[in-house]
A and B are shown apart, each in its own frame.
Chain A
Amino acid sequence: MITPEQAVLAAILICLGGAVLVLPLSRNKNSAGWFAFFVTVASAILILLAVGEVLTSGPSPHAATFWAMPEIGFALCIHVDGLTSMFLLLAAVIAVPTSFYSIVYMRHYPDYGVARYYPHFLAFLAAMYGLLSTTDMMWFFFIFWQMMTLPGYALIRFENRKPENIRAANKFLIMMQIACAATMIGAELLAVTGAAARGGASLKYDFDTVSGNLPLLLATRPGTTALAFALFLVGFGIKMGMWPFGQFWLPDAHPAAPSPVSAMLSGVMIKTGVYGLMRYFLWLVPVEAQSDYPMARWGLIVAVLGTVTLFTGTMQALKQEQTKRLLAFHSIGQIGYILLGTGACMVLLSSTRPDAAALATIAFFGALFHVLNHGLFKGLLFLNAGSLLHATGTQDLNKMGGLMKFMPLTAITALIASFSISGVPLFNGYVSKWSICVAALLGSGSARYLAVCAVIAILTSALTLASFIKFFGTSFLSRTSALVTERAARNGRLEVGWIMQIPQVFLASLCVLLGLVPAIAFRLMQHALDASRQGFGAALSKSAPMVSGPLTGLEGFDAAARFAPLALAALLGLLFLVAYGISRIGGAPRRAAVPWLCGYVPEQDCHRYVAHNFYGEIKRYFRWLGGMPHPQPGKQKVLKGN
């Protein structure tokens, strides 16, 4: 039987091999696409095998070393524990639909070949598998990080005849190199001071060595370790798009890349930053060192940064009029929720109150579940945006309208994704936001500011909802725009083909499934914690605060907070039928008509209320927060009034 570590290494090698082999096939977009898809599926199967093995029968006791040069601390060590397996699961689940989607999507670039797409896509995926499972904080961290950054750079500048894409890719490259440097300097600080204090260990950059040295370091060199942890926060913060770093690169990079890559960037790549944060701040530090580790202070910083991130990201997203740029800003906003959950977890773990341990686990579950959920719904939303781009040839929401009639399936999946990201009950985003807010609010006995953070998070949910009302309403509902009419007349059909539909339906059904039966995810996460024997991961697994059952839903914290989605779904369904019954009771006849425009003139394109016109007052009051969209070329219709 293959061990989880071997399976992950095999998945990495398959992807890398595929990246080389796909090159000669790249003259034919179709065959290259199918080949890359099968390579992705093969790697995903191996990853799922590894994850299943770890979650059911526990991780291997030690990291597997495949290749080592101990004199310079160079070793390819791979270890799959609970935390790694959750992130690997996310990577595999998002990579398969996006690579399937690419097969047809990449055909709509007539001037660009796929020789610069599929090899980079596969190398990018391999690097993510590697980064999530290596235990080497220096050499292989650097190798995998660069393997992720350089293909990512190439994928972002895929349409390299547009100067703005080159600029976006350059920004991405520079920010990622700064992040890489910050993280490596941090690791070097820990390793060197650790080696000086303890004498040279064989693999000084390995998680186990560093973790073993940390109690001594925290006690004797608090300044150096604090500096190292600050550098980790900056490095991973840049990667995940934390305020203020995220605004530099993320909103430019996501829209520039081809849509399936945007889905991977936002769904998986920025989560490697979250993984790093959780791994270094929670798993790396042994529980014995708790007295010297200023976890409450780090938690405060992370939670406050998270709150600032979620508010600024979402408020800036509210101002956007380009589909993918809007979604990119929402990635920053949603990362804020994850940071808030992680920060609250750290604060509560260091608290001495009796109820804090259970709440810390709830906060951690919320953050980790939001990682999964964000991957699912944001991946889906970027695929939706890709379908819109495929159908209309534009990312400009002002030029879209009435697309639900032409693209019903894309519309329904986009509605599901919009509801999920806004945290509407019965969809997956609700449960994770609920966990984070419950933990933050009830945990405010340990740290007062958490209550304010929780309320800002709730307020931001309303902002997210507003933003997606605009996104969904102006693209799929509203009135058909001139552009859509012209496109539909030319192409006959706007809805994307089945190859592009299946990934959207797959991700949408996962959103609904996890929304209706969140117990699945909570069981998985509990298993993941049980399979984590390092650091505070083990401490978190001791309290099992959520009682979950597939039918009864979730119940946490002595029944102080509960949610039974299936019962609620049944109730809403019943009431929906009642409402429908009431509406049909009179047997009223139906008739189609055009909207009334006060009877002066027939409706024209210039009468449409477009995305630009939405939320004028809020945009004006928060102009100082930045992120105003650049004026688009072409005529800008401004409807006076609001």
Chain B
Amino acid sequence: MSHGVISALLGGVLNVGLVLLLAPLCQGVLRKVTARVQSRQGPPIWQPYFDLLKLLGKEDIESGESPGMQRFAACLSLATVLSIPCLVPMGFAAPMNDVADVYLLIYLLALCGVCTLLAGLAAGSTYSLVGISREMMSIIVLEPLFAIALLVGALHTRSFRLDTVLNGSVYATDGFPWSGLIMLGVILLSFQAFVQRVPFDISEAETELMEGPLMEYSGPKLALLKYAQMAKLVIYSALFVGLFVPWGSGEPFPWNCLVFAMKVFALVLLVTLVAATHARYRIDQAIRYFAFLLSIAFVALVLASYGH
């Protein structure tokens, strides 16, 4: 038992550290590649690290009427995001497999967004609230999409365990994995929205809403919220890899981690390319699009319950 606890703690610390280290790098790559695609020079790859460090020392302007809530929500936002790597296999097995199951993962993913919304609400700017209303509407339609993907896996394996489901379980059928492949398509088509990038960054929409929920934030709190957003890209990529691209994770030590990193990196590049070449949707267009994907996901769920 104690051995299990220690390895869980070590694995958790390792995963959290990995996400904290890698997230700004991914953001840097994303910015550089975007710039190149759009025929610009772009900032150096290390720029996000410097941005975060600089923000940590800058003046912290609290424009809300309940600053306690602002502090709480900003810290909770990063804390929730960082709790996910403890539950998700990232190269190694899922560290805190015994703490919770896939159902918790669904809620934690939704909660990541909601903490940012609470922060925005506490600041109370009208522009923030417009962004919050949009963001919450997208969460309503997006959360079930990833939930269905996870639950299709849970249906196939008849288990909610994290290590079972996040191991390519969507394909774990006897016959041809129709439901898994449909969900792969659905999640690929909505992946930009999960990581809040163009064309689905409607709630932030710099050019019209000036960062939406984050608008009133500056200094260290902005650093926390930005860090959480960068970490989301890595975490969703890790989840996607675990659920849909499990091949190669059984290799012996350093290879499994390398393979994992390659897969995550490939996803980040994909996200970047889509983001750099698309224009932002309006919220009603986006919701219609997600609703369409959701109806397809329901078909996949029904197929999965019949064992296909």
Query: Is A588 a contact partner of B58 (Cβ separation < 8 A)?
Result: yes
Q: A462-B140, A586-B56 are in contact. Are A571 and B155 (CB under 8 A)?
A: no
How far, in whole Å, are A295 and B265 apart by their CA atoms in the complex?
52
How far, in whole Å, are A583 and B62 apart by their CA atoms in the complex?
14
How far, in whole Å, are A559 and B100 apart by their CA atoms in the complex?
10
Chain A residues, CB < 8 A from B122 = 404, 477
Query: Is B63 a contact partner of A458 (Cβ separation < 8 A)?
Result: no
Q: Please tell me which one of the listed residues A445, A452, A609 contacts residue B130 in the complex, with CB atoms under 8 A apart.
A: A609
B137 CB–A CB distance under 8 Å: yes
Q: A459-B140, A571-B86 are in contact. Are A563 and B132 (CB under 8 A)?
A: no
Query: Is B101 a contact partner of A563 (Cβ separation < 8 A)?
Result: yes
Query: Is B66 a contact partner of A477 (Cβ separation < 8 A)?
Result: yes
Query: Is A462 a contact partner of B58 (Cβ separation < 8 A)?
Result: no
A596 CB–B CB distance under 8 Å: yes
Q: Please tell me which one of the listed residues B12, B161, B221 contacts residue A560 in the complex, with CB atoms under 8 A apart.
A: B161
How far, in whole Å, are A472 and B60 apart by their CA atoms in the complex?
25
Q: A563-B104, A576-B79, A589-B59 are in contact. Are A455 and B110 (CB under 8 A)?
A: no
Q: Please tell me which one of the listed residues B62, B69, B139, B227 contacts residue A477 in the complex, with CB atoms under 8 A apart.
A: B69
Chain B contributes a number of interface residues (CB within 8 A of A) equal to 87
Q: Please tell me which one of the listed residues A405, A473, A579, A596 contacts residue B125 in the complex, with CB atoms under 8 A apart.
A: A596
Q: Please tell me which one of the listed residues B59, B108, B147, B302 contacts residue A588 in the complex, with CB atoms under 8 A apart.
A: B59
B106 CB–A CB distance under 8 Å: yes
**Beta-carbon nearest neighbor of B288 in chain A:** A621
B47 to chain A minimum Cβ distance, whole angstroms, is 18
Query: Is B63 a contact partner of A593 (Cβ separation < 8 A)?
Result: yes
**Beta-carbon nearest neighbor of A454 in chain B:** B151
Query: Is B287 a contact partner of A593 (Cβ separation < 8 A)?
Result: no
Query: Is B130 a contact partner of A473 (Cβ separation < 8 A)?
Result: no
How far, in whole Å, are A560 and B161 apart by their CA atoms in the complex?
5
A639 to chain B minimum Cβ distance, whole angstroms, is 8
Q: Which of A424, A430, A465 has the largest number of chain B CB atoms within 10 A?
A: A465
Query: Is A568 a contact partner of B100 (Cβ separation < 8 A)?
Result: yes
Query: Is B76 a contact partner of A576 (Cβ separation < 8 A)?
Result: yes
Interface segment, one of A81-89, A113-121, A228-236, A610-618: A610-618
Query: Is A562 a contact partner of B101 (Cβ separation < 8 A)?
Result: yes
Query: Is B129 a contact partner of A478 (Cβ separation < 8 A)?
Result: yes
A436 to chain B minimum Cβ distance, whole angstroms, is 11
A358 CB–B CB distance under 8 Å: no
Chain A residues, CB < 8 A from B103 = 434, 437-438, 561, 563
A17 CB–B CB distance under 8 Å: no
Q: A455-B298, A477-B66 are in contact. Are A588 and B60 (CB under 8 A)?
A: yes
Query: Is B121 a contact partner of A473 (Cβ separation < 8 A)?
Result: yes
Chain B residues, CB < 8 A from A607 = 126
Query: Is B305 a contact partner of A444 (Cβ separation < 8 A)?
Result: yes
B64 CB–A CB distance under 8 Å: yes
Q: Which of A445, A463, A480, A575 has the largest number of chain B CB atoms within 10 A?
A: A575
Query: Is A405 a contact partner of B65 (Cβ separation < 8 A)?
Result: yes
Chain B residues, CB < 8 A from A437 = 103
Query: Is A441 a contact partner of B60 (Cβ separation < 8 A)?
Result: no
Q: Please tell me which one of the listed residues B60, B83, B137, B227 contacts residue A575 in the complex, with CB atoms under 8 A apart.
A: B83
Interface string of A375-418 (1 = CB under 8 A from B): 00000000000000000000000000110110000010000000
A481 to chain B minimum Cβ distance, whole angstroms, is 11
A514 to chain B minimum Cβ distance, whole angstroms, is 17
Chain A contributes a number of interface residues (CB within 8 A of B) equal to 81
Chain B residues, CB < 8 A from A110 = none
A630 CB–B CB distance under 8 Å: no
Query: Is A477 a contact partner of B118 (Cβ separation < 8 A)?
Result: yes
Chain B residues, CB < 8 A from A580 = 71, 75
**Beta-carbon nearest neighbor of A458 in chain B:** B147
**Beta-carbon nearest neighbor of A476 in chain B:** B66
A638 CB–B CB distance under 8 Å: no
A590 CB–B CB distance under 8 Å: yes
Query: Is B114 a contact partner of A469 (Cβ separation < 8 A)?
Result: yes
Q: Please tell me which one of the listed residues A425, A585, A615 contacts residue B56 in the complex, with CB atoms under 8 A apart.
A: A585
How far, in whole Å, are A611 and B174 apart by their CA atoms in the complex?
50
Query: Is A451 a contact partner of B151 (Cβ separation < 8 A)?
Result: yes
Chain A residues, CB < 8 A from B114 = 465, 469
Query: Is A451 a contact partner of B305 (Cβ separation < 8 A)?
Result: yes
Interface segment, one of B187-195, B212-220, B243-251: B212-220
How far, in whole Å, are A465 and B112 apart by their CA atoms in the complex?
13
How far, in whole Å, are A568 and B95 apart by their CA atoms in the complex?
13
A366 to chain B minimum Cβ distance, whole angstroms, is 12
B154 CB–A CB distance under 8 Å: yes
Chain B residues, CB < 8 A from A476 = 66
Query: Is B99 a contact partner of A571 (Cβ separation < 8 A)?
Result: yes
Chain B residues, CB < 8 A from A480 = 65
B156 to chain A minimum Cβ distance, whole angstroms, is 11
How far, in whole Å, are A442 and B216 apart by their CA atoms in the complex?
45
B57 CB–A CB distance under 8 Å: yes
How far, in whole Å, are A522 and B62 apart by their CA atoms in the complex?
44
B32 to chain A minimum Cβ distance, whole angstroms, is 25
Chain B residues, CB < 8 A from A455 = 144, 147-148, 151, 298, 301
Query: Is B224 a contact partner of A617 (Cβ separation < 8 A)?
Result: no
B113 to chain A minimum Cβ distance, whole angstroms, is 10
Chain B residues, CB < 8 A from A582 = 56, 78, 220, 223-224, 227
A104 to chain B minimum Cβ distance, whole angstroms, is 25
How far, in whole Å, are A383 and B104 apart by their CA atoms in the complex?
29
Chain A residues, CB < 8 A from B215 = 595-596
**Beta-carbon nearest neighbor of B154 in chain A:** A441
A567 CB–B CB distance under 8 Å: yes
Chain B residues, CB < 8 A from A553 = 99
How far, in whole Å, are A455 and B298 apart by their CA atoms in the complex?
9
Chain A residues, CB < 8 A from B126 = 595, 597, 607-609, 639
Q: A462-B144, A571-B99 are in contact. Are A595 and B134 (CB under 8 A)?
A: no
B306 CB–A CB distance under 8 Å: yes
Chain B residues, CB < 8 A from A423 = 107
Q: A559-B161, A579-B82 are in contact. Are A615 and B104 (CB under 8 A)?
A: no
Interface string of B193-225 (1 = CB under 8 A from A): 000000000000000000000011001110110
How far, in whole Å, are A571 and B56 apart by their CA atoms in the complex?
24
**Beta-carbon nearest neighbor of B202 in chain A:** A642
Chain A residues, CB < 8 A from B125 = 595-597
Chain A residues, CB < 8 A from B62 = 590-593
Query: Is B107 a contact partner of A615 (Cβ separation < 8 A)?
Result: no
Q: Please tell me which one of the listed residues A405, A469, A608 contacts residue B136 in the complex, with CB atoms under 8 A apart.
A: A469
Chain A residues, CB < 8 A from B220 = 582-586, 588
Chain A residues, CB < 8 A from B134 = 642
Q: Please tell me which one of the listed residues A563, A572, A591, A608 contacts residue B60 in the complex, with CB atoms under 8 A apart.
A: A591
Query: Is B99 a contact partner of A592 (Cβ separation < 8 A)?
Result: no
Interface string of A156-191 (1 = CB under 8 A from B): 000000000000000000000000000000000000
B71 to chain A minimum Cβ distance, whole angstroms, is 8
A-B contact pairs, 11 of them (CB 8 A): A438-B160, A441-B151, A452-B301, A458-B106, A473-B118, A562-B161, A578-B82, A591-B60, A595-B215, A641-B130, A642-B130
> Which A positions have Cβ atoms within 8 angstroms of B?
401-402, 404-405, 411, 423-425, 430, 434, 437-438, 441-442, 444-445, 448, 451-452, 454-455, 458-459, 461-463, 465-466, 469, 472-473, 476-480, 553, 559-564, 567-568, 571-572, 575-576, 578-580, 582-597, 607-609, 613-618, 621, 639, 641-642
9 interchain residue pairs of minimum CB distance: A586-B57, A609-B129, A586-B56, A595-B125, A473-B121, A575-B79, A579-B78, A583-B220, A477-B121
> Which B positions have Cβ atoms within 8 angstroms of A?
12, 16, 53, 56-67, 69, 71, 74-80, 82-83, 86, 96, 98-101, 103-104, 106-108, 110-111, 114, 117-118, 121-126, 128-130, 132-134, 136-137, 139-140, 143-144, 147-148, 151, 154-155, 158-161, 215-216, 219-221, 223-224, 227, 283-284, 287, 291, 298, 301-302, 304-306
